[in-house]
């Protein structure tokens, strides 16, 4: 069930969305006056805080928005990758990628940013933006990409050009590949990017036994 549907002003154009480790939804919004990152309440998607993003690098379409576990933002728009602090201020930039690769997606996993080129290639970039490695996969699986905990999930095509989803580890080894259930192909993909906390107990738990009467 779609619980909330918020159609913003036509003067707003969304250029990315992600969920932070703090539980808020963040959107990259293009306004007439420029770009902002809006921090949104998950219950009704209302804006709780607006972070100005001063840049000339972005246009209507972007490669999306990602966050790390410390609340830093990563914005990609071919060929410019920006790292921004949690207040929206620019901290690093890196020119990476080739033309027309803005559609594949961006995600962060454990110290690295990953950018997909909507083909078979992607970039693995240290999250201080100090270095980038380009990786070519065997087929066009990296049409779109997301992260779940410590894994990359792609949607794209297999070696026979059939539409598939696939999970890879961060060393680019395939863990599984499976057919897409319905339709010609998937063109965007999303997941929760952070490790889900588990509850542990520091003390033993003793059973309580009630006597039968």
Partner 1 sequence: MADVAFVIIGYNPTLLQTYDVEGNFLRVKSVSGSFNYSNTYLAMDVDRNIYFCWGSGLAK
Q: Which residues bind partner 1 (CB under 8 A)?
A: 2-10, 12-19, 23, 25, 27, 42, 45, 60-61, 64-65, 102-103, 144, 146, 148, 153, 155, 165-167, 176-178, 180-192, 194, 196
Least distance to partner 1, CB of residue 194, Å = 7
- Minimum distance from residue 61 beta carbon to partner 1 (Å): 4
Residues across the chain: 213
CA proximity to 109, closest of 153, 161, 144: 153
- By beta-carbon proximity to partner 1, the closer residue of 72 and 146 is 146
Q: What region does 210 belong to: left with phi over 0, alpha with psi -120 to 50, or beta?
A: beta
Q: Considering the complex, state which of residue 100 and residue 133 has its C-beta at the smaller distance from partner 1.
A: 100
Beta-carbon contacts of residue 76 (< 8 Å; ≥ 6 apart): 62, 63, 64, 82, 97, 102, 106, 115
Closer by beta carbon to partner 1, 134 or else 167: 167
CB of 148 to partner 1, least distance (A): 6
- Residue owning tokens 């932070």: 20
| Least distance from partner 1 to the Cβ atom of residue 104, Å | 10
Nearer to partner 1, 7 or 130 (CB): 7
Please choose, from the candidates 141, 94, 149, the residue with its C-alpha nearest in 3D space to the C-alpha of residue 122. 141
């Amino acid at each position: 069930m779609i619980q909330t549907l918020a159609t913003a002003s036509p003067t707003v154009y969304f250029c990315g969305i992600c969920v932070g480790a703090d539980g808020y939804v963040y959107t990259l919004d293009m306004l007439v006056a420029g770009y902002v990152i809006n921090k949104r309440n998950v219950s009704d998607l209302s804006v709780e805080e607006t972070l100005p993003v001063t840049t000339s690098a972005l246009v209507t379409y972007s490669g999306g928005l990602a966050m790390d576990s410390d609340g830093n933002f990563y914005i990609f728009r071919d060929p410019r990758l920006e790292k921004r602090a949690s207040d929206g201020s620019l901290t690093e930039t890196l020119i990476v990628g080739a033309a027309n690769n803005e559609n594949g997606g961006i995600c962060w996993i454990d110290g690295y940013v990953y950018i997909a080129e909507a083909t078979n290639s992607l970039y693995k970039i240290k999250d201080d933006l100090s270095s980038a490695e380009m990786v070519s996969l065997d087929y066009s699986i990296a049409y779109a990409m997301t992260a779940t905990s410590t894994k990359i999930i792609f949607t794209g095509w297999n070696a026979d050009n059939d539409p598939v989803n696939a999970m890879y580890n961060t060393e680019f080894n395939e863990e599984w590949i499976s057919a897409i259930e319905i339709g010609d192909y998937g063109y965007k993909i999303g997941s929760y990017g952070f490790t889900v906390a588990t509850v542990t107990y520091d003390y033993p738990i003793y059973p309580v036994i009630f006597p039968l009467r």
